[in-house]
Chain A
């Protein structure tokens, strides 16, 4: 097996996961303009919901996976209505919202550990391994093929909603100027609620895919969040599509970066990319 095709495939797979995470994160950020750190925990809840329904209750995956996505979306929506909306109505600063979302992230991760233990779990259906496909002299698992296809589907679906629908225009208007959006009759509260639902559902989908590919643990929310954030900043924070470019750049740099060195350097490389962008191109690849 050649190493180069495999590195490219690995980069594409990692980039796809980061892209899905960045799409949801940037959708929320571009609308409310604050860093929702609880995004990572909301994602993991979806993965644990799938674990609960499929592994513990034995429900089929075609039921468990959509339910997991819906639960992530609903938790994100409820967090907005119960925490962030109240803080925003009191005109709390973004720092307050950031700290509140950090608290939510920590609390949700702790709850997951209490209910499901801190042990590493896997969502894969079979213990005997997955089907492997050969592609351009590299190999790719069935789950990884699904990850690639899901990233494309989420990107196209979100692009359709944002570019072509009335809802998409309202989302853009709220992100541009929330006060003016209110004046022209947009119920910004409802729009933001829907954005939190959609963004969180996308996050849940990403964590579920990671769960099938590698596995899940309660504390995986933070690394997932950070990869989504790095991809978003590198691509252009607040630019929904820029985040996708940032995600694939990050995927490639990470995987090619550890070609000759230990895989433990992966996160260090990701943060080095982030710092380089913050210093030399803070607006990211694309502006908002």
Chain B
């Protein structure tokens, strides 16, 4: 069963159709990759799915029953969805540990004014930071991390949310081999745990290795879909959109 579906999803910017009546489905417990040349609408799709930009037409269906034509970003977490960003976005002025703790925070109206983190929150934060190898940097400001460490912290934040559906926007770009291995292993572990992963990625070797299904977009429209081996072998896809 699809965990997220789009039906005739539409978004334009100043007359340019960024996502053009797109209907795609992301199956529960699978890794689905969305590929295509720059400007094909991949990141716009992620932004629409996470409520960061308003939908102009069509709808988003979550878990087969909840239909959105308008989704609020802060409610996305309530539907078990989270994401990373192509240009890593952290809480720069906060220490590494707080970047994770803030995700775990429960926010009652008055209680939060006096409430501190519970031992459970701290244990969970330690667990995810150890997993990405950043526990030793927990007191450093996010601002001071290297590019790769920033990507890993974003992944740690995703792990802390315990979301069922995770949208990863170019998670492997610019990583050193050892960091790349950590992120690839985490993706595999998440799949084993039954999480749904939506990958926006340009690294075709990793897409072949990880994906159960891929969608190829061009100019906001669906160009091809299917098993990665067969779709990525298509000459028209290779020549026109993947530049290989």
Contacts and interface: CB of A to CB of B under 8 A. Distances in A.
A186 interface: yes
Interface string B89-110: 1111110001001110111010
Interface string B43-54: 000000011100
A223 B116 CA distance: 38
Interface string B189-223: 00000000000000000000000000000000000
A166 B74 contact: no
Interface string B108-134: 010011111100000000000000000
A185 B103 contact: yes
- Which of B52, B91, B117 has the largest number of chain A CB atoms within 10 A? B91
B93 A288 contact: yes
B92 A183 contact: no
Interface in A124-181: 161, 164-167, 169-170, 172-173, 175-177, 179-181
B86 interface: no
Given A166-B117, A173-B102, A179-B73, A187 B107 contact: yes
Contact of A172 (B51, B91, B112, B157): B91
A86 interface: no
A169 B98 contact: yes
Nearest to B89: A180
B163 to A, nearest CB: 9
B83 interface: yes
Contacts of A288: 93
Given A166-B107, A177-B91, A183-B52, A188 B74 contact: yes
Contacts of A175: 93
A114 interface: no
Nearest to B98: A169
Contact of A165 (B78, B94, B112, B157): B112
Contacts of A183: 50, 52, 73-74, 76-77, 82-83
A166 B105 contact: yes
A161 B102 CA distance: 14
Contacts of B23: none
A160 to B, nearest CB: 9
26 contacts: A164-B116, A165-B114, A165-B116, A166-B117, A169-B94, A169-B101, A170-B112, A172-B93, A172-B98, A176-B91, A176-B94, A177-B91, A177-B92, A180-B89, A181-B91, A181-B102, A182-B74, A182-B76, A183-B74, A184-B103, A184-B161, A185-B76, A186-B74, A186-B105, A187-B74, A191-B107
The 7 closest A-B pairs by CB, nearest first: A185-B77, A182-B73, A167-B112, A176-B91, A182-B74, A166-B105, A166-B112
Interface of B: 50-52, 72-74, 76-78, 82-83, 85, 89-94, 98, 101-103, 105-107, 109, 112-117, 157, 161
Given A166-B116, A190-B109, 14 more contacts: A166-B107, A166-B112, A166-B117, A167-B112, A170-B102, A172-B98, A173-B91, A180-B85, A182-B72, A182-B76, A183-B82, A183-B83, A184-B82, A185-B161
